[in-house]
Chains A and B, each alone.
Chain A
Amino acid sequence: MSDLAALVVQQSLNGVYLGCLYVMVALGLTLIYGVLNQINFAHADFVTVGAFTAFFTATRLATKVLGLPDAAGYLLSIFAAFGIGALLGLAVNAAVFAPLRERGDELRPLIATIGVSVLLENAQLALFGPIPYQFDSPFARETIRVGRIFFSAQSVLVVAVSAVAIGALYAFLRFTFLGKALRAVAQDRETAGLMGINPGLLIGLTIVIASALAGMAGALLGPVLVLSPFAGASVIVKAFAIVIIGGFGNLQGTIIAGIFVGIIEAFTVQYLGSGLIDLVVFVLLLAMLVIRPTGLIAERKEENV
């Protein structure tokens, strides 16, 4: 394999791995947007909470209390983070989204989620302190080499878990009754309500699923991130960009956009410089908005006059 070819393959793999990480974070965001037309600014903090949950589960609970081997402990922590994320989503929905839903305004929930984000971040700061925790999953320590290409077992795990999660989500939305009801609510809340679906309940469910996904993303990201209360903030802006490039509420679009952004990032680092990553991604975003405002995979949306 020539030098250049090896380099391109390696950076592409790096990009896919990065992209999957971003997609995990972006999935929840796009779900919430699709059903609620809401942007949840506290999403980043849900990811951070998930990461801390996973950390404490893997390093304290699983190994010390339950005596599990490292690998099993880490896998357990992913589930734990998923669960805690769901609970957090439930709480925030009950406290913030549900009460504001009736008023029909889009901006106030946004500001409310900013307030929640500040609160969560500083609560974690008070609880855990600002010094980064060392979260090393046993998978991150294993490097797999194929010729001159390398990747860690963690990246394989991330891609695998993402694929499973996305597959499960897709199947849920497509084939189950609840899933179809959710799509109905996303399309037209009023009519769905008239059809006997309880929009409030379904919206709550969406938020719970989205937050659970965020928590899980945190568990997968934990061994990659610098784990401190500010960890989520480092990925959230790109996650937003991905949601937009992929098309708000569009699942397939988000996935493709996420991988795409990951690859762009890897190649920007290679040829331009890591300081320029955000710049490139957002210029791309603006270009996207000009060329295809509805996102990569257009969904037909009708405007009611």
Chain B
Amino acid sequence: MNFAIHLALGCAMLLASFAASAQAQVVRIGVAMPISGPGSYFGVQDKEGIELALEQFKGGINGYKLQVQYEDSACSPLQATNTVKRLLDQFQPHIVIGEECSDASLAIAPILNDAKIVQLNVGSVTMKLTESGYKYTFRIFPNAEQQSLPLAKVAYNTLKARTAVILHEKTNAGNDNAEGFKKPFEAMGGKVLATIDFGRDVNDFTAIATRIASLGKVDVLPTFALEGQQVRLSQALAQAKVVKGGGGNGVQMGSIWLPFGYDQKAGQAAVGYVRIVQFDPTEKRKVVQDFIKAYQAKYGADKTPTHINAHAYDAILLIAEAVRRGAKDSESIREQFSKFKDVEVTTGRITFDQKGQNSDLSVVHFVETQQDLSWKGMSWQ
């Protein structure tokens, strides 16, 4: 009797362990990105980066394969909430990459944290994401303060600017970045002549440029908007002779939002534009050059990857690295992430601080657009 029971138990345990190990050979990655609507600007590029990275890890890591499921969160808190619930129900991911828009990222953070699933954010700017005590949320994208503070410092100390006009899109990200510039700049003694916000549906900036021209001497114009609007804005500012590119005196300043190739699109108007960049395709680091080669091989030799591609690509790199170090589910991924120090990716090195924010900005540097529309790296900081 005893023997039979032991045998049965033994077989059962053996079978169970087979089943468990057959299941555990996959690390499931949910991706909540805007695939429809205007937010698809991000979603399409994110997907490119993720797909490229997945190809490189096709063979698996430590016997674990990476499996991805995409859901359309459309940059809206309602849809993001629904799609994350859907992912949790149907896919049971170990980690979710999401979202791009700050509102949506903030909406899904509590759900993922309650479910004890890691949230890896690669595109939101809002400070609240890492200031709300979420233990499972990690972000590699620089937050508003990390982006705007260096701009304010360089504006005041290096460019000797004393007056500024801040231009930003009317979104969470735009607002936060604008605040992040305004506070330190004014604290240092600068004067913000105007803070001009505009919706994402504004196309013609001539009226805004005219208004700025009427404000008097403007030294710097920090701008926080997406490339489409920034091109029109730069051109209007040049036309109104407000910025250097048009023969004026003001220096346009910007953040990592603008992709490589922006200057070619904006033309002469972009001359003299000073901004910080994180992903720099001219960087000599092997990881960056390999990424560009792989990207061009897959998507076309005439295209250069943008920082959005790069961040999404890095997300997979980080997950793969965590798995390589022994992670296989949400808890172990979280543990590995919190221990990350100087993990190298295309957008720099990753060290997550206690709040889950990447605190390593060593790669971030200033560039200035030259007359021939190329970037010149500046060694300011």
Contact = CB atoms under 8 A, between A and B. Distances in A.
Contact, chains A and B (beta carbon distance below 8 A): yes
Interface of A: 3, 7, 10-11, 14-15, 17-18, 21, 122, 125, 129-132, 134, 136, 140-141, 143, 150, 152, 221, 224-228, 230-231, 233-235, 265-266, 269-270, 273-275, 277-278
A225 B198 CA distance: 14
A134 B44 contact: no
30 contacts: A7-B214, A11-B210, A14-B206, A15-B207, A17-B204, A18-B206, A18-B207, A122-B36, A125-B36, A129-B44, A130-B38, A130-B40, A130-B44, A131-B45, A132-B227, A132-B228, A143-B239, A150-B239, A221-B203, A226-B231, A226-B232, A227-B228, A228-B41, A230-B37, A231-B203, A234-B201, A234-B202, A234-B203, A269-B207, A274-B208
Contacts, number: 92
Given A14-B206, A224-B203, A224-B204, A269 B267 contact: no
B244 to A, nearest CB: 16
A273 B214 contact: no
B211 interface: yes
B232 to A, nearest CB: 6
Contacts of A136: 267
B353 to A, nearest CB: 33
A235 to B, nearest CB: 8
A124 B197 CA distance: 29
- Return the 8 tightest CB-CB contacts between A and B, nearest first: A132-B228, A234-B201, A226-B228, A269-B207, A130-B40, A266-B207, A130-B41, A274-B198
A270 B207 contact: yes
A270 B210 CA distance: 8
Interface string B33-48: 0001110110111000
A200 B201 CA distance: 37
Contacts of A21: 204
B170 interface: yes
A227 to B, nearest CB: 8
Nearest to B238: A143
Contacts of B265: 134
Contact of B211 (A15, A129, A140, A270): A270
Q: How large is the interface on B (under 10, 10 to 19, 20 to 34, 35 or more residues)?
A: 20 to 34
Interface in B47-67: none
Interface string B180-223: 00000000000000001111011110111011001000000000
A273 B167 CA distance: 11
Contacts of B198: 274-275
Interface of B: 36-38, 40-41, 43-45, 170, 196-199, 201-204, 206-208, 210-211, 214, 227-229, 231-232, 235, 239-241, 265, 267
Given A125-B36, A265-B207, A275-B170, A134 B231 contact: yes
Q: Which of B38, B204, B231, B239 has the most CB of A within 10 A?
A: B204
A152 B232 CA distance: 13
A269 B214 CA distance: 12
Contact of A10 (B40, B203, B210): B210
Nearest to B201: A234
Contacts of A225: 203
A228 B38 contact: yes
A11 to B, nearest CB: 6
A18 B202 CA distance: 12
Contacts of A265: 207
Contacts of A11: 207, 210-211
A231 B232 CA distance: 13
Given A122-B36, A134-B231, A269 B41 contact: no
A270 B214 contact: yes
Q: Which of A130, A224, A225 has the most CB of B within 10 A?
A: A130
Q: Which of B206, B210, B239 has the most CB of A within 10 A?
A: B206
Contact of A226 (B40, B45, B203): B203
Contacts of B203: 221, 224-226, 231, 234-235
Contacts of A17: 204, 206
A234 B204 CA distance: 11
A167 B239 CA distance: 31
Contacts of A129: 44
Contact of A14 (B210, B214, B232): B210
Contacts of B36: 122, 125
B206 A131 contact: no
Given A18-B204, A274-B202, A269 B211 contact: yes
B197 A274 contact: yes
Contact of A131 (B41, B201, B214, B229): B41
A141 B228 CA distance: 17
A128 B304 CA distance: 18
Contact of B197 (A10, A15, A221, A273): A273
